[in-house]
Amino acid sequence: MIDSTYKVRRYISEFCNHSDQLLAEYDLRSFDLHKFQNEFGVIDMKNPMFDCYPLHWSNIPFMKAYLSLEPEWDFVNKSYFVESQSIEEQN
């Protein structure tokens, strides 16, 4: 999803633990900054969460509400991160 407030794309990245290869990206269908800050322990409420935040099994119930297409979670062989990517405004 495109966060129009901050002009970023919000998504989950999926990496192979054995090769560090990017396997997939899953766009978030929505993003509630305050709820994500609480879920990921962000103390500074002014932090727009542009960093990379690792996902754990405990985050899955929370994330289900924000995913249209859910990964086949495999925390043994894969790693997952909540990320943002700057987008350029189109004229």
Q: Which residues contact 20 (CB under 8 A, 6 or more apart)?
A: none
CATH of domain 2-86: 3.10.50.20
DSSP for the chain reads -EETTTTEEEEEEEEETTT--EEEEEEBS---HHHHHHHTT---TT----S-EE--GGGHHHHHTTBSS-----TTTEEEEEEEEE-PPP-
Report the phi/psi class of residue 69: left, alpha or beta, with left for phi > 0 and alpha for psi in -120 to 50. beta
Q: Structural domain boundaries of the chain?
A: 2-86
CA count, 13 A, side-chain hemisphere, 58: 4
Per-residue pLDDT tens digits of the chain, which is 91 residues long:
788 888 999 999 999 999 999 999 999 999 999 999 999 999 999 999 999 999 999 999 999 999 989 999 999 999 999 999 998 754 4
